[in-house]
């Protein structure tokens, strides 16, 4: 075993939680803002827990302490001490007032945590990012989510350099100062944790709209951005208003301040941040226009705007007691966001999108050395736990609870949860208790889901008794990990199901002993290790459709025949399960090619899709998804010795077989019919046509690269918007090198001043498969627009390569691994959070085939031997290497 670097040794454990010995009732912050140096005076009204006899300890990092006073008296150096990121002060009592003044260095802050500069010194602006532990980089404070205080903030700055001054809460005055300076004050009437503090100062333009909440409160909605992109914020404003109306209608939640600000920045480690009254957004999730944004990006803008707004209640008014409860706010809010997006768009397509992301990002995380429960038992660096497990799997657990309670029951439970915990820092136990009590159901058994790492398996087997006209469904659950591990109590698993006849008719579902009308779909709860469910009145051997809507985040094992999967693909009325049957059948078809075995599954998959290709009753976007087999990451999950290049080649062959079954003429004809309706409209039908047009062109490329390249070149030239333009460019990159180079040069020139469009240009090239990808990425690093200091640019090029290009990154010679290690060293010195996230690309290296596995281990070990790694990166590398 490799000894972990010293930076990873301190562990914070859930079992060690103690309520804070000192709380802060009110906070007064007074900023004198500057780019190179900002000075901050803080005044804290302290409250002591009489049950604890602990000295006053405040968190603080990278702060220059200028002065300190307690109850109006300056403290001598002997009355306080700073050690290991804490300030310990003698003599404090309940009701004491602590005053400090510190100096910050925003321009030197490349970690983008705390107060920092976004953009250039001449034109950029100051902003903050405090979640999870950034506030300790701003002032000395008990920087933990269960310390909630009321904030009064005053900002002072040069008016010409910082004409816009914003902070969380309601505005509480502004005015002029001598020397061309001005001030603005803000008061937040709601207690909040320090991670929700925010300020913004600089030259920004805005759009605004008046809004009246359902309970009659007038609110000013304002979106701020730099002048050259403010015209791309209108869609986000519309999305914000839709989100507010939806939350009022579905959850009864109204906004509670007089103003709601959103600010866009190109320099942000996260997607967006829900600071109370002052949301700060990575520009990629706020700016949108047809020329530079794809249909997917429009949906992402809508979803992220909604997500951050919904946090106003699920995260802000009710926050988490400690960071172990992170999914209480994030998993719940992702579920709320997903439900909103499903209502605004297509529910089946949204479910497919969400489960695809879960399998692409979270399932591999659960299967590798970085696996952890939704509520981890311990951590060293909390920033490393903003993961797919906490967010996406956490949302699936909330979805299970919502499905168990039904729409009305879940609403009753959420009403009780918000009412009981408003203004509090809550736990998962508080959440389950409120939901359960509101419905007279004990939901505490579901807590076990939050404490288990890995993806459990659901095994299903059916038996039909013709004489009794009964169908018995046997279900069993199996914990993740080795079969010989200690057993654990069974989880409660809601299994939504339906039965189909062999002519595709959905059958009534009557459990033995029931009378009256029988539903055609129902939920059974598997809460034992194995159970049987007997359905009566079944006239023939049925085909089960299980985990409909993905009712539980599990791997389903059921011995379907290819013909049965093809039947569900053709006839299931649940759009998600129709797609799911196609994914399972496509995986079987891929296995046919891998094993050189009979091709029954391959033929069944191709024949079923050929029969659906011209079916006018199928939504174009759903058909595009049905025509898309599982990705290389999902296919690799079923392999014991992963060879990414071989997986890529087999998947390409699989698509070629499908394209051949459909035929050049049908593909070309369908493409041209779709292209005849080219538009930039954002309605569902137009987006669906663009989606299917892209997929038909990609399949045509597999069969006839020359024809596909000709069509793609014309599509790129005539594209009215980014969706069509980017789809065409992707096909050209794989089919016609010369035409692709011309298009790339045109794109680079066209979008030279558009940072988000250039991110797509970098990412698309980084994701072109094969060994040549590494050389291409290294060449792109020399482009004048590339920088390691911008998280979006790093994720587009380096992230696109190491996470979005398995065959390119996992070169057999290990060059991709050595490249990543070198870039991680450089990134870690600039921005540890970005470095740590990029390092997760090494997750799962143990499952690579032997040659690649040895090369990956050597590269990881080399990095782990460094003594100067940040705590963020050291924890990831230590876990990857030693688990």
pLDDT at 4: 35
Q: Answer for the pair 389, 365: CB distance below 8 angstroms, yes or no.
A: yes
**Polymer length in residues for the chain:** 883
Q: Which of 426, 345, 367, 432 is nearest to 397 (CA)?
A: 432
Burial class (CB in 10 A: 0-12, 13-18, 19+), 70: buried
The residue with tokens 């058994």 is 445
pLDDT for position 484: 57
Per the structure block, which two tokens stand in for 883? Answer: 């688990």
Task: Give yes or no for a contact between 455 and 366, defined as CB atoms under 8 angstroms apart.
Answer: yes
Lookup result for tokens 């035929």: 663
**Block residue for tokens 């065409």:** 728
CA distances from 722 to 156, 295, 415, 729, 766 (A): 42, 8, 42, 10, 18
Ramachandran quadrant class, 119 (left: phi over 0; alpha: psi -120 to 50; beta: rest): left
Omega cis (within 30) before 132: yes
pLDDT digits (tens, 9 = 90+) for 834-878: 999 999 999 999 999 999 999 999 999 999 998 899 999 999 999
Please name which of 605, 648, 647, 601 lies closest in space to residue 626, comparing C-alpha atoms. Answer: 605
C-alpha distances out from residue 389 to 371, 602, 842, Å:
8, 33, 17
The answer to whether the beta carbons of residues 708 and 735 sit under 8 Å apart is: yes
Cα–Cα distance measured from residue 546 to residue 544, given in angstroms and rounded to the nearest whole number: 6
Distances (CA, A) of 627 to 577, 733, 881: 14, 21, 38
Read off the pTM. Answer: 0.97
Per-residue b or e along 520-548, where b marks 16 or more CB atoms closer than 10 Å to that residue's CB: eebebebeeeebebbbbebeeebbbbbbb
- Phi, psi dihedrals of residue 83, rounded to the nearest 5°: -155, 130
718: nearest Cα among 754, 693, 692: 693
φ, ψ of residue 30 to 5 degrees: the values are -125, 110
Beta bridge partners of 43: 28, 99
Which two structure tokens, joined as six digits, stand for 26? 């009110």
Measured at the CA of 150, the angle between CA 149 and CA 153, to 5 degrees, comes to 120
Secondary structure string (H, E, C) spanning 103-169? EECHHHCCCCCEEEEECCCCCCEEEEECCCCCHHHCCCECCCCCCEEEEEEEEEEECCCCCEEEECC
Q: Are 223 and 264 in contact (CB under 8 A)?
A: yes
Identify whether the C-beta of residue 786 lies closer than 8 Å to the C-beta of residue 793. Answer: yes
Nearest to 203 by CA among 168, 158, 155, 236: 158
Low-confidence stretches of the chain (pLDDT < 70) are 1-9, 482-486
Q: Are strands 56-59 and 64-70 parallel, antiparallel or unpaired?
A: unpaired
308 is catalytic: yes
Alpha-carbon distance of 401 to 421, in angstroms, equals 19
Q: Could you write out the DSSP letters of every residue in 243-280? A: HHHHHHHHH-----SSEEEEEEES--SSSEE--TTEEE
C-alpha span between 265 and 285 (Å, rounded): 10
* Spacing of C-alpha 470 from chain mean position: 44
Q: Rg of the Cα trace of the chain? A: 28
In what helix (H) or strand (E) does residue 44 lie, and over which residues does it extend? strand 38-48
Q: What pLDDT is recorded for position 389?
A: 98
Cα 370 → chain centroid: 16
The token duo for 96 is: 């004491």
Choose the catalytic residue: 297, 308, 381, 564: 308
User: DSSP assignment of 758-815, as one string?
Assistant: HHHHHHHHHTS-STTHHHHHHHHTTSTT--TT-HHHHIIIIIHHHHH-HHHHS-TTSH
Identify the pLDDT of residue 867.
82
CA distance 395 to 73: 50
Confidence (pLDDT) at 5: 40
What span, in angstroms and rounded, lies between the C-alpha atoms of 153 and 742?
Answer: 53
What pLDDT is attached to residue 487?
A: 76
């Amino acid at each position: 075993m490799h000894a972990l670097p010293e930076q990873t040794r301190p562990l914070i454990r859930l079992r060690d939680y103690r309520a804070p010995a000192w709380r802060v009732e009110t906070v007064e912050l007074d900023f004198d803002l500057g780019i190179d140096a900002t000075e901050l005076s803080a005044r804290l009204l302290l409250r002591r827990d009489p049950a604890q006899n602990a000295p006053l300890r405040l968190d603080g990092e990278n702060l220059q302490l200028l002065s300190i006073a307690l109850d109006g008296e300056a403290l001598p150096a002997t009355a306080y001490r700073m050690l290991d990121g804490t300030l310990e002060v003698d003599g404090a009592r309940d009701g004491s007032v602590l005053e400090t003044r510190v100096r910050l260095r925003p321009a030197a802050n490349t970690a983008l945590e705390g107060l920092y500069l976004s953009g250039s010194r001449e034109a950029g602006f100051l902003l903050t990012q405090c979640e999870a532990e950034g506030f300790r980089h701003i002032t000395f404070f008990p920087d933990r989510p269960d310390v909630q205080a009321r904030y009064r903030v005053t900002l002072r700055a040069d008016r010409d350099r910082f004409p816009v001054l914003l902070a969380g809460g309601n505005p509480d005055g502004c005015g002029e100062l001598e020397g061309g300076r001005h001030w603005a004050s803000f008061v937040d009437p709601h207690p909040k944790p320090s991670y929700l503090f925010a300020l913004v100062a600089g030259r920004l333009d805005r759009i605004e709209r008046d809004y009246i909440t359902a309970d009659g409160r007038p609110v000013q909605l304002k979106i701020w951005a730099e002048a050259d992109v403010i015209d791309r914020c209108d869609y986000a404003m519309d999305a914000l208003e839709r989100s507010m109306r939806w939350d009022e209608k579905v959850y009864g939640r109204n906004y509670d301040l007089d103003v709601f600000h959103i600010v866009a920045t190109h320099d942000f480690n996260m997607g967006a941040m829900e600071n109370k009254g002052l949301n700060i957004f990575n520009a990629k999730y706020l700016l949108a226009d047809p020329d530079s944004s794809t249909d997917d990006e429009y949906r992402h803008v809508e979803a992220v705007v909604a997500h951050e707004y919904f946090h106003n209640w699920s995260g802000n008014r009710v926050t988490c007691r400690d960071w172990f409860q992170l999914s209480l706010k994030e998993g719940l809010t992702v579920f709320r966001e997903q439900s909103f997006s499903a209502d605004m768009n297509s529910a089946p397509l949204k479910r497919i999108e969400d489960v695809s992301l879960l399998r692409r990002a979270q399932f591999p995380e659960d299967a590798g050395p970085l696996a952890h429960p939704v509520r981890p038992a311990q951590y060293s660096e909390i920033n490393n736990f903003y993961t797919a497990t906490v967010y996406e799997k956490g949302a699936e657990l909330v979805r299970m609870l919502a499905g168990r309670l039904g729409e009305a029951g879940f609403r009753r439970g959420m009403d009780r949860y918000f009412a009981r915990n408003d203004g509090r820092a809550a736990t998962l136990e508080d959440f389950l208790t409120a939901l359960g009590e509101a419905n007279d159901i004990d939901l505490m058994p579901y807590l076990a889901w939050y404490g288990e790492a890995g993806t459990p398996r659901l095994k299903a087997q059916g038996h039909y008794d013709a004489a009794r006209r009964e169908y018995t469904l046997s279900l069993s659950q199996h914990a993740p990990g080795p079969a010989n591990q200690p057993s654990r109590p069974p989880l409660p698993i809601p299994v939504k199901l339906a039965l189909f006849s062999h002519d595709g008719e959905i059958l009534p579902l009557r459990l033995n002993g029931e009378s009256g009308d029988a539903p055609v779909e129902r939920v059974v709860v598997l809460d034992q290790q194995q159970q049987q469910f007997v359905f009566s009145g079944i006239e023939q051997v049925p085909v089960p459709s299980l985990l409909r809507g993905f009712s539980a985040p599990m791997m389903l094992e059921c011995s379907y025949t290819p013909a049965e999967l093809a039947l569900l693909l053709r006839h299931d009325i649940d759009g998600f399960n129709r797609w799911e049957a196609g994914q399972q059948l496509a995986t079987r078809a891929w296995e046919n090619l891998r094993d050189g075995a009979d091709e029954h599954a391959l033929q069944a998959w191709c024949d079923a899709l050929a029969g659906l290709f011209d079916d006018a009753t199928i939504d174009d976007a759903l058909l595009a998804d049905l025509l898309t087999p599982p990705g290389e990451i999902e296919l690799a999950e079923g392999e014991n010795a992963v060879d990414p290049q071989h997986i890529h080649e087999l998947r390409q062959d699989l698509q070629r077989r499908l394209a051949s079954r459909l035929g050049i003429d049908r593909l070309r004809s369908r493409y041209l019919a779709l292209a005849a309706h080219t538009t930039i409209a954002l309605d569902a039908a137009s987006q669906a046509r663009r989606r299917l047009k892209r997929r038909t062109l990609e399949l045509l490329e597999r069969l006839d690269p020359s024809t596909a390249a000709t069509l793609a070149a014309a599509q790129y030239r005539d594209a009215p918007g980014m969706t069509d333009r980017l789809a065409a460019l992707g096909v050209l990159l794989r089919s016609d090198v010369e035409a692709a180079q011309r298009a790339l040069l045109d794109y680079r020139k066209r979008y030279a001043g558009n940072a988000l469009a250039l991110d797509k240009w970098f990412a698309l090239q980084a994701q072109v498969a094969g060994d040549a990808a590494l050389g291409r990425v290294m060449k792109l690093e020399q482009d004048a627009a590339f920088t390691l200091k911008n998280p979006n640019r790093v994720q587009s090029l380096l992230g696109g390569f190491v996470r979005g290009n398995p065959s390119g990154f996992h070169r057999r010679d290990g060059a991709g691994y050595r490249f990543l290690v070198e870039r991680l060293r450089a990134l870690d010195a600039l921005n540890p959070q970005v470095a740590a996230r990029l390092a997760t690309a090494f997750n799962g290296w143990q499952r690579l085939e032997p040659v690649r596995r040895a090369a990956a281990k050597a590269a990881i070990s080399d990095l782990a031997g460094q003594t100067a790694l940040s705590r963020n990166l050291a924890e990831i590398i230590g876990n990857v290497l030693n688990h």
